Amino acid sequence: MTTLDDVFAEGGLFSQAMPGYRPRTQQVEMAQAVERAIKDKKPLIAEAGTGTGKTYAYLVPALLSGGKVIVSTGTKTLQDQLFHRDLPKVRAALKVPVTTALLKGRANYVCVYHLERALADGRFARKEDVIHLQAIARFAATSSDGDKSACSNVPESSPAWQHAVSTRDNCLGSECPSYQDCFVMQARRQALEADVVVVNHHLFFADVWLKDEGAGELLPRCNTVIFDEAHQLPEVASLFFGETVASGSLLELARDSRAEALAAAKDYVHLPAAALALDKATRDLRLVFGQDALRAPQHQLAENLAFHVALGVLEEKLTELVDRLVDQAERSEGLENCRRRAAEQLGVLRRWRHGMEPAPAVPVAAEKAESDKAKPAASHLDAVFWLEVSPQGFQLNITPLDIARLFAKQMHEERAWVFTSATLAMNGNFKHYAHEMGLWEAEQAAWESPFAYKQQAVLYVPQGLPDPNNRDYTAAVIEAALPLIKLSEGHAFLLFTSLRAMREAYDLLNARLPAMGLQYPMLLQGEGTRTELLERFRTQPNAILVASQTFWEGIDVKGEQLRLVVIDKLPFAAPDDPVLAARIDKINRAGRNAFIEYQLPRAAITLKQGAGRLIRDETDQGVLMICDPRLVDKPYGKQIWKALPPMLRTRELSVVERFFARMKAGVTE
């Protein structure tokens, strides 16, 4: 029987299979902790600093355990990397006959039924959409798995994909005429048969935990669940345990109801009319807010008469559509599917609209839909009701304030649960994360990065910057960063805590750099996908990327191409966020300190993620510049200061200049 020593030791299986592999104490200790958790069927929270090799540390004991394992990642990018690169390497080194499967959400697979229906319908606003749909059809005819990420000649952002994939709402399941050719069902069958299944957090909660058709059988069969990038779980779990009515879902429901009516109930004119009325009511509600974007708790909308009138009309029209669909649901599986969706949406809309008050009686159709749902819902007495309005539409949200008990209640099955990330603790203390996730009894362990940070990097906090709330703060950040950008010759990430500051900084740099005689390629978040921007950054010498928190994590740029990371402020969440405000109020009303207990640890963990972009390899070198004076001036800032990697720390520009000079000269000490 293969042991961990056989794998990780000098001359062991990894050394034999991977040239250049060197044992790391931290990696071995983490593997031992994961092995114990699997054996004892207990939860484990494990923080492993960058460079520990945590992926191999959890994969080795997982593959050697002999049981079924689900590995959940924070992003689809890491999911693909884990499945296509890391898993095959470990499996080959261990020489174990382990089968693996990659499972994504249904929106990542071409739906043959919806694709064929869209091509037959042929009504599109743009000629480009028709061209893209035809390209998708050619791809689907030759693809073995239907994963749209492999359809390279159709952009991921193309509207055509909306007509070529299914959603939980419009999937016909086993009643679909294309069921036997369904890529989603094929992927789920492979996942059920595999020993190791790689999913992502959103899919885990939405399908695996919810016990959606097919994927729901995964969790009862598995012995071990491993969450990589586990710091993202509280946010994802809040979305899952909450409820939402979105304008996009309502418009899609109206569109599908009309299409199904034309296909199966042409003689019933009331149904298309009810669908059109819902479409109009949805759009009218969005128009109440004009061009404004908004995030507001329900109570702040109490005086907005136009909103309440439009919301009442929306409920009326959705109720009418439910009634019409009840009359016709037996005529086709598609109409029954629309009935169920409409009833579910009506139930959530009524709960949102009436808040804590008892909602009006829900039609029998809605009652059935509600009873069919397996999703554990939060008590509305412990939830925040809020509205989000964007240029694209609106969302009515019911979000739980405390997911800990909801999550802990669902974890009662006897299996190992491993939660790992480079950022879960604050100065070695896991209290914040354990409290958020309900992991009060979990074993906790942390391993620092093996990187020689004091030789590889400098943490620089410039002197003389104004208070971060000063209107000229971003301009001051850029002025302080310009000397470093010149020293690093570009090769920089500038990360901002708001889109407004990001755009202002980009404009300032475009004005100031040419005046200094510096012609560096400038990249701005939003001008292309994240993948495209990263590829351009990696391939363009001296590039500078200006971004917001989208680029604070999950980004891996090794080598000389990234030498400087600038962060403008401590990343405290916006105080006007309705969910944050409600959680703060709840903690404070309980007699505790929400800032120390909740806001500060979250900011520290987020900042550690941003700081972690700089040093990704043991040969990397560079400077991390954090501009916020609160980091050194405020007592709470000093707590965050301690939580950052142990780089050489300074407030003197001359120290940074000497570091860059030594780096260019190839001196590492």
pLDDT recorded at residue 525? 94
Q: Using the 3D structure, point to which of 144, 161, 184 is the last residue of a domain.
A: 184
Please give the Cα distance from 231 to 610 (Å, whole number): 13
Do 247 and 320 fall within a single domain?
Answer: yes
SS (H, E, C) 383-426: EEEEEEEECCEEEEEEEECCCHHHHHHHCCCCCEEEEEECCCCE
The region of weakest confidence among 90-104, 150-164, 469-483 is: 150-164
Do 409 and 268 fall within a single domain?
Answer: no
pLDDT digit string, tens, across residues 38-84:
999 999 999 999 999 999 999 999 999 999 999 999 988 889 889 99
DSSP string, 427-478: TTB-HHHHHHHT-TT-EEEEE---S-HHHHEEEE--SS---TTSTTHHHHHH
Do 271 and 352 fall within a single domain?
Answer: yes
394 in any annotated domain: no
Give whichever of 5-9, 354-358, 576-580 has the largest mean pLDDT: 5-9
Token duo for residue 643: 């939580």
Please give the Cα distance from 355 to 385 (Å, whole number): 7
What mean pLDDT do residues 334-354 have? 94
399 in any annotated domain: no
DSSP string, 544-610: EEEE-GGGSSS----STT--EEEE-S--PPPTT-HHHHHHHHHHHHTTS-HIIIIIHHHHHHHHHHH
Q: Which SS3 state, helix, strand or coil, does residue 272 take?
A: helix
Please give the Cα distance from 572 to 15 (Å, whole number): 43
Please give the Cα distance from 60 to 51 (Å, whole number): 17
The answer, yes or no, to whether residue 522 has pLDDT greater than 80, is yes
Average pLDDT value for the chain: 90
pLDDT digit string, tens, across residues 279-306:
999 999 999 999 888 999 999 999 999 9
Domain ranges, residue 548: 453-665
Q: Using the 3D structure, point to which of 184, 207, 231 is the last residue of a domain.
A: 184
16 in any annotated domain: yes
Do 297 and 419 fall within a single domain?
Answer: no
pLDDT band at residue 369 under the 50/70/90 scheme: very low
pLDDT recorded at residue 372? 44
The answer, yes or no, to whether residue 356 has pLDDT greater than 60, is no
Task: Cite the DSSP H helix spans in 95-154.
Answer: 112-121, 127-142
DSSP letter assigned to residue 51:
T
Domain count, the chain: 4
User: Which CATH number is 263's domain given?
Assistant: 1.20.120
392 in any annotated domain: no
Do 214 and 162 fall within a single domain?
Answer: no
Do 479 and 612 fall within a single domain?
Answer: yes
pLDDT recorded at residue 367? 46
Please give the Cα distance from 556 to 614 (Å, whole number): 9
CB distance 329 to 339 below 8 Å: yes
SS3 content of the chain, % helix, strand, coil (to 5): 55, 15, 30
pLDDT digit string, tens, across residues 298-333:
999 999 999 999 999 999 999 999 999 999 999 998
The answer, yes or no, to whether residue 513 has pLDDT greater than 60, is yes
The Cα-based distances of 633 to 88, 463, 650 in angstroms read: 49, 11, 14
Do 216 and 90 fall within a single domain?
Answer: yes
DSSP letter assigned to residue 154:
S
Laid out side by side, the sheet with 294-297 consists of 243-246, 393-400, 383-390, 294-297
pLDDT band at residue 379 under the 50/70/90 scheme: low
The answer, yes or no, to whether residue 368 has pLDDT greater than 70, is no
DSSP letter assigned to residue 169:
T
Q: Using the 3D structure, point to which of 184, 214, 231 is the last residue of a domain.
A: 184
CB distance 406 to 376 below 8 Å: yes
Do 491 and 543 fall within a single domain?
Answer: yes
Strands 393-400 and 243-246: antiparallel
Do 235 and 252 fall within a single domain?
Answer: no
189 in any annotated domain: no
Do 579 and 499 fall within a single domain?
Answer: yes
pLDDT digit string, tens, across residues 86-96:
999 999 999 99
Do 80 and 203 fall within a single domain?
Answer: yes
pLDDT band at residue 669 under the 50/70/90 scheme: low
User: Which CATH number is 505's domain given?
Assistant: 3.40.50.300
Token duo for residue 51: 């460079």
78 in any annotated domain: yes
Strands 294-297 and 383-390: antiparallel
Do 476 and 525 fall within a single domain?
Answer: yes
391 in any annotated domain: no
Q: Which SS3 state, helix, strand or coil, does residue 288 take?
A: coil
What mean pLDDT do residues 458-462 have? 97
414 in any annotated domain: yes
Which residues make Cβ contacts (< 8 Å) with residue 669, sequence separation at least 6? 455
pLDDT band at residue 530 under the 50/70/90 scheme: confident
CB distance 605 to 571 below 8 Å: no
Strand partners, 47: 421, 446
Radius of gyration, alpha carbons of the chain: 27
**Count of residues in the chain:** 669
Token duo for residue 23: 């044992």
